[in-house]
Amino acid sequence: MTDFDQDDIAAMRRENGGADLKRFMRDQLRVGKQRRDMPTAAAPPPRPPGHRPGAWPSGTSPPEARPQAHPPAAWGAALNEHRAALMADDHTQLTSDQPCGCVTCQLTKEN
């Protein structure tokens, strides 16, 4: 009996000297306290459509390792080409025991 209006309350007051109204009000208080004291479990969030626990989404795969842009041999070849280009310049001091101060002469002196 959750839907009541003024006529229902007036009728409860008239019957049994108001005992029905008191019982009704106590029942309403008891129900309200029970609802307040009950722990409410949080509803889990809705799962996305087509969700399979522990699986990758359809049409995807785990990420793969990125391939190296240039293998180590290519780096070595590029360095050798660069050194050859530097050596192609005209260095008059390369033939003597005294290298000049350029980067190429310094590299050949260190190696």
What string of DSSP letters covers 47-98? PPTT--TTSPPTT--PPPPPPPSS-HHHHHHHHHHHHHHHHTS--TTSSSSS
- Calculate mean pLDDT across residues 98-106: 64
In the three-class reduction of DSSP (H, G, I as helix; E, B as strand; rest coil), residue 2 is classed as coil
Residue extents of the structural domains in the chain: 6-37
Q: Report the alpha-carbon distance of residue 77 to residue 2 in Å, rounded.
A: 88
In the three-class reduction of DSSP (H, G, I as helix; E, B as strand; rest coil), residue 4 is classed as coil
What is the pLDDT at residue 91? 60
What is the pLDDT at residue 70? 84
Give the residue with greater pLDDT, 24 vs 106. Answer: 24
pLDDT reading at 106 higher than 70: no
For residue range 52-70, what is the model confidence (pLDDT) as tens digits? 777 777 677 777 877 778 8
For residue range 4-50, what is the model confidence (pLDDT) as tens digits? 788 888 888 888 888 888 888 899 899 888 888 777 778 888 888 87
| Residues 30/38, Cβ–Cβ less than 8 Å | no
Q: Report the alpha-carbon distance of residue 26 to residue 60 in Å, rounded.
A: 60
pLDDT class of 105 with cuts at 50, 70, 90: low
